[in-house]
Amino acid sequence: MTFFQADGLSIHFGGIKAVDNVNFTIEKGEIFTIIGPNGAGKTTIFNLVSRIYEPTMGRLVFQDQDITQVPAHKVASLGIARTFQNIELFEHASVLHNLLIGRHCHRKSNLLSEILFLPSTKRLELEHREKVEEVIDFLDLAVYRDQMIANLPYGVRKVVELGRALCIEPTLLLLDEPSSGLNVEETQDMAFWIEDIKNDLGITVLMVEHDMSLVSQVSDRVLALNYGRVLAEGAPREVQENAEVVRAYLGG
Amino acid sequence: MRFIFKTRYEQDLNIARHGGDWFWYGLLLVLMVLAPLVLDLFYIGELTLVLIYAIAGVGLMLLVGYTGLVSLGHAAFLGIGAYTNAYFLGQGWPFLITFPLSGIVAALAGIAIGVPTLRMTGLYLAIATLAFSIIVEKVFSHWSSVTGGFDGLPVDAPDLFGYELWEPWQLYYIALVVLVLVLWGSANLLRSPTGRAMVAVRDSEVSAQSMGVNLAWTKTIAFAVSAGITGLAGALFGHFVQHLAPDSFAILLSIQLLLLVVVGGVGSLHGAIYGAIFVGALPQLIAIARDYLPPAVSQIPGLEPGLFGVILVLFIIFEPFGIYGRWRKVKLYFDLFPLYKKATFKRQKAYLKTERLR
Ligand SMILES: Nc1ncnc2c1ncn2[C@@H]1O[C@H](COP(=O)(O)OP(=O)(O)O)[C@@H](O)[C@H]1O
Ligand SMILES: [Mg+2]
């Protein structure tokens, strides 16, 4: 079974080939990391996978299903969750509210039952809440539960965004630069959480990351990208020592 | 300051946060129920108008304050509700059918404007809804066989179980019941997935989508519910004025409704109530002010809409969260006295946001 596969994935913006014939597969249960200098096309790959961008060419396969035509709002219910490089939380809402929106793809109530707030709707809401509380416990967010996002420090927002993605109960989690903007301690926490997400929750992780020590610590396999093309793929150490990758990072 | 000790998840689902809230809401409701017994006719009328504004305000609040979509055309939905109700009452249909029907027809009109404008936001949406309301106004004046054209349309009294309710206090109670039901339904919606999806769309469309929120569906629902509620307010407004004319539903009314939402406090149902009181009282305040102003100023044509505009702009600049936002600050000030810090409500500029994915 193919868990996840990008097959000849390409997207062109005018003349720029942001992603150019990229192939990779992700095995279930691993942490797969994409590295590369700024502008390499890493975030663009995420936007392709979450179906925000339309690929110029190529195919995306998830759990043996071709998802290249799935609309963006259906991706979550397939079990693919993501975070954003520049944090896209719902700012004027509480942490709890943000996490509950993560449950949206599991919505079973209909409009009428919601307007009347029937007992069935209330029961479903309580079930969502229980799931959300599990995530709050997992990520230690209890003290921030009722706070507005707009009042939270950057590091906490980053964790809330991770939590919101976990509320989807995904099988594949996309993390775009989880450690960017975090201090050393927060980065270490993030590394532990990512490992727990893999080991305890059994979620497969596709990650974009710049911090090489974090990459080596958690990744099973690494893919290096430059100018939208694959430079190297393999174990973290191998890729980091690859001559072409070194040259790309040094700007050669 | 009150600390709420929570022991069950249900507590976060309740409409009122604690017993104290229920007490104040209950007291307010009792006062509202008793009001017609002590007030004279003029004030019953004014209060009825405030209730009608509040219903329409809740409708517009769901769209503007919670979904982040602006509308400069809500007078059209008010008008559609009013004409639908009046026309079918005139055909001899009972009020208990024409009234919900006016909401449904307005909701369908909301979908009709919501779907083609799905990809619009901000100024473009404002212009599109404005254009829509101008078209609707033209329809009111030219579709004479239904609307009576420029002669207008008389509105029969609402009838309940065979009784015709001509008395102002009867309309007052109808409006009060409708407002309570609309508030209850809206609060329910807002504590359910659809309401959360609306807030998500308002704050970040990309991530809403990645959470499984269908943008097109959510915006369409927001337009439909908002227009439907406003249509109900329109039906009551028709009973209030008792005679419909096309120019009752012009742009000025739309601006007044937007003023209501902004001044009351964007993003809260309380705000819609505060805003309704403000907009209801404003003409009186302006009339009083007129007596004290030099004639050269008070006789300027268009003084009223001009003032609406000025107030709107001042609120947007100085108190974007409206009267309700100001009230919360004052309340916190006393709760924390003397420890209140000026920076408590200052927004942190914690990080930069790229524009690329917006
Ligand atoms: N929507 C877009 N329109 C035009 N160019 C884009 C768009 N999104 C990304 N790009 C371009 O694609 C390239 C890769 O960007 P990105 O994937 O964000 O890089 P990174 O690897 O740093 O995440 C850049 O040259 C960027 O300018
Ligand atoms: Mg990036």
Q: What is the pLDDT of residues B198-236, one digit of tens each?
A: 999 999 999 999 999 999 999 999 999 999 999 999 999
Nearest listed ligand to the Cα of residue A18: 1
Q: Which helix (H) or strand (E) holds B334?
A: helix B322-336
**Does the beta carbon of A13 lie inside 6 Å of ligand 1?**
yes
**Does the beta carbon of A43 lie inside 6 Å of ligand 1?**
yes
Own/partner pairs, A145-149, CB within 8 angstroms, 24+ separation = A145/A94, A145/A95, A145/A96, A146/A94, A146/A95, A146/A96, A147/A94, A147/A95, A148/A91, A148/A92, A148/A93, A148/A94, A149/A89, A149/A90, A149/A91, A149/A92, A149/A93, A149/A94, A149/A95, A149/A98
User: d(Cα B22, Cα B31) in Å, to the nearest integer?
Assistant: 14
User: What confidence score (pLDDT) does residue B342 get?
Assistant: 61
User: pLDDT tier at B310 (50, 70, 90 boundaries)?
Assistant: confident
Cα B232 from chain centroid (whole Å): 11
DSSP state of B4: P
User: d(Cα A162, Cα A176) in Å, to the nearest integer?
Assistant: 10
Neighbours of B54 (CB within 10 A): 29
**Does the beta carbon of A39 lie inside 6 Å of ligand 1?**
yes
Flag if A91 and B203 touch (Cβ within 8 Å): yes
| Ranges of each domain in chain A | 1-79+171-252, 89-169
Q: Which residues on chain A are in Cβ contact (under 8 Å) with B194?
A: 111, 114
User: What confidence score (pLDDT) does residue B282 get?
Assistant: 83
User: pLDDT tier at A193 (50, 70, 90 boundaries)?
Assistant: very high
Q: Are A101 and B213 in contact (CB under 8 A)?
A: yes
User: d(Cα B258, Cα B308) in Å, to the nearest integer?
Assistant: 10
How much is the mean pLDDT over chain B? 85
- From the alpha carbon of A39, which atom of ligand 1 is closest? 19
User: pLDDT tier at A240 (50, 70, 90 boundaries)?
Assistant: confident
**Interface pTM, i.e. ipTM:** 0.90
User: pLDDT tier at B197 (50, 70, 90 boundaries)?
Assistant: very high
User: d(Cα B294, Cα A201) in Å, to the nearest integer?
Assistant: 74
Task: Please name the member of B185, B202, B215 whose beta carbon is closest to the beta carbon of A115.
Answer: B185
Q: Which helix (H) or strand (E) holds A59?
A: strand A57-62
Q: Which residues on chain A are in Cβ contact (under 8 Å) with B350?
A: 152-154, 157
Does residue B16 belong to the interface with chain A, where contact is any CB pair within 8 Å? no
Which regions of A96-227 does DSSP assign to beta strands (E)? Answer: 172-176, 204-208, 221-226
User: What confidence score (pLDDT) does residue B356 get?
Assistant: 39
Distance in Å, CA B223 to ligand 2 centroid: 35
User: What confidence score (pLDDT) does residue B257 get?
Assistant: 92
Which regions of B139-223 does DSSP assign to beta strands (E)? Answer: 153-154, 159-160, 163-164
User: What confidence score (pLDDT) does residue B353 get?
Assistant: 40
- CA–CA min distance B66, chain A (Å): 10
Tokens 């039906």 — which residue? B235
Q: Are A100 and A129 in contact (CB under 8 A)?
A: yes
Q: How many residues does chain A have?
A: 252
**Mean pLDDT value of segment B244-271:** 88
User: What confidence score (pLDDT) does residue A142 get?
Assistant: 92
Q: Is the pLDDT of residue B350 over 60?
A: no
Reduced to 3 states (helix: H, G, I; strand: E, B; else coil), residue B2 is coil
Nearest listed ligand to the Cα of residue A14: 1
Beta bridge partners of A226: A229
Q: What is the pLDDT of residues A134-192, one digit of tens each?
A: 999 999 999 999 999 988 999 999 999 999 999 999 999 999 999 988 889 999 999 99
Nearest listed ligand to the Cα of residue A177: 2
User: d(Cα B92, Cα B156) in Å, to the nearest integer?
Assistant: 9
- Max CA distance (Å), chain A: 64
Q: What is the pLDDT of residues A52-95, one digit of tens each?
A: 999 999 999 999 999 999 999 999 999 999 999 988 999 889 99
Q: Are B233 and B106 in contact (CB under 8 A)?
A: no
User: What confidence score (pLDDT) does residue B354 get?
Assistant: 38
- Tokens read off for B287: 């009339």
Distance in Å, CA A227 to ligand 2 centroid: 13
Cα A139 to Cα A132, A165, B55: the distances in Å are 11, 12, 42
Q: Are B75 and B251 in contact (CB under 8 A)?
A: yes
User: What confidence score (pLDDT) does residue B341 get?
Assistant: 63
**Does the beta carbon of A16 lie inside 6 Å of ligand 1?**
yes
User: Which of B210, B324, B345, B351 best probes binding to A when mutated, by most A CB atoms within 10 angstroms?
Assistant: B210
**Mean pLDDT value of segment A116-138:** 93
Distance in Å, CA B260 to ligand 2 centroid: 42
User: pLDDT tier at B309 (50, 70, 90 boundaries)?
Assistant: confident
| CA dihedral angle for residue A233, residue A238, residue A241, residue A247, rounded to 10 degrees | -10
- Tokens read off for A64: 């043996």
Task: Please name the member of A107, A114, A130 whose beta carbon is closest to the beta carbon of B189.
Answer: A114
Q: b/e per residue, B215-233, with b = 16+ CB within 10 A?
A: beebbbbbbbbbbbbbbbb
pTM (predicted TM-score) = 0.89
How much is the mean pLDDT over chain A? 92
Q: Give the domains, in start order, of chain B with CATH numbers.
A: 21-357 (1.10.3470)
Q: Are B258 and B60 in contact (CB under 8 A)?
A: yes
The CATH number assigned to the domain with range A1-79+171-252 reads: 3.40.50.300
Cα B81 to Cα B106, B107, B233: the distances in Å are 6, 9, 7
Low-confidence winner among A121-130, A242-251, B8-17, B89-98 (lowest mean pLDDT) = B8-17
